[in-house]
Structure 1
Amino acid sequence: MHRVEFYKKRGFTVESFMTELRYYSVDHAKLAASLKLEDDANIIVKPYSEEMLQAVLDYDKSIAGQDRGDYLRPCLQAYKKLVFVATDAEGKLTGYVVAINMTGEVSYGIFPLYGDTEQVQSDLMRQVLMALPNGSKITFYTPDNNAPVARMIEALGAKTVLNSKRLYTKHEVKLPFKKVGSVLNYVAFGI
């Protein structure tokens, strides 16, 4: 927030949504108690595979409002062992999550976590956290407009360490916030 005026002076004119940077240490033993888990035969979470690429790209475009395949393809390839997708009973993609390796004090970033419903986001969160080593320090970059995800992440015991405002040069980015648990962009926080 202390840099908003700095960026405005450099051409960033559109103020958009607020985000919160949160840190969490993975605790496998507490995950089930922390996350709202319900049996739902319509939510199937599974590891990502190359055959799912186009479905993930299409789903991402429905969230972002634009094609981000040039960035997302190499990201999915690089981190494919830590990418999970959610589908409904008919096989339609309803969300995805990526855990990205980081360096320094933080081991992984959850960038992004997208899901059609709160339950899809919770199921994806559980799956990706269980795939990470116990005790790993991770980070999320959550929009403040998604109260259910904020509650879910706080129930895990995550701590907010930074609030920031998204700024843009031409137009406001309008995300379907109920579907966004953690945004894709993590560059500023590659600690």
Structure 2
Amino acid sequence: MEEIKLQTTTVKVLQGDITKVAADVIVNAANTSLLGGGGVDGAIHRAGGKRILEECRKIREQQGGCQVGEAVVTTAGNLPASFVIHTVGPVWNGGTNGEEQKLMNCYANTLHLASKNQARSIAFPNISTGIYRFPKALAAKTALEAVSTFIRCNPESGLEQIWFVCFDEENYRIYRERLREGLEIE
């Protein structure tokens, strides 16, 4: 496990199954329908149980799903968390459709929603790096920049722990290397 301290927030990277992480908030790399899918989305819905899906359906009825870069919150159901924040990452199309900014928005909107819900800890998966094909190194750089910016601009957020939970070895290695390089907080 690798970690770095930014102001009053500890940023950690670990390898494992996000559905087993006891954070206040677990982040789901959802699709726009919010009805579950493959990868981390399917794993969170399976492990969390039907209450998550029920709340996602209510959100769909109210606002028609969740757009790319946006975030919504539901119960965590059977997960060891208080909430799940669902965010929809961009599909990689060669970097010509604003994918980096959309991914940055995923992290920023999720962090703001976590702070609004008084979370002290949040666990992120590697958003968009699976079937959405976002290049892993660029996704890690974008995610860590988003976290660094959020911490710098929101010193009273209440977030004490931000974890990046990497399912695969490649993402784990990339995030560890990025943390070793350090993050700049001005």
**TM-score after normalising by structure 2:** 0.35
TM-score (norm 1): 0.35
Structure showing greater relative contact order (alpha-carbon pairs closer than 8 Å, 6 or more residues apart): 1
More strand by share: 1
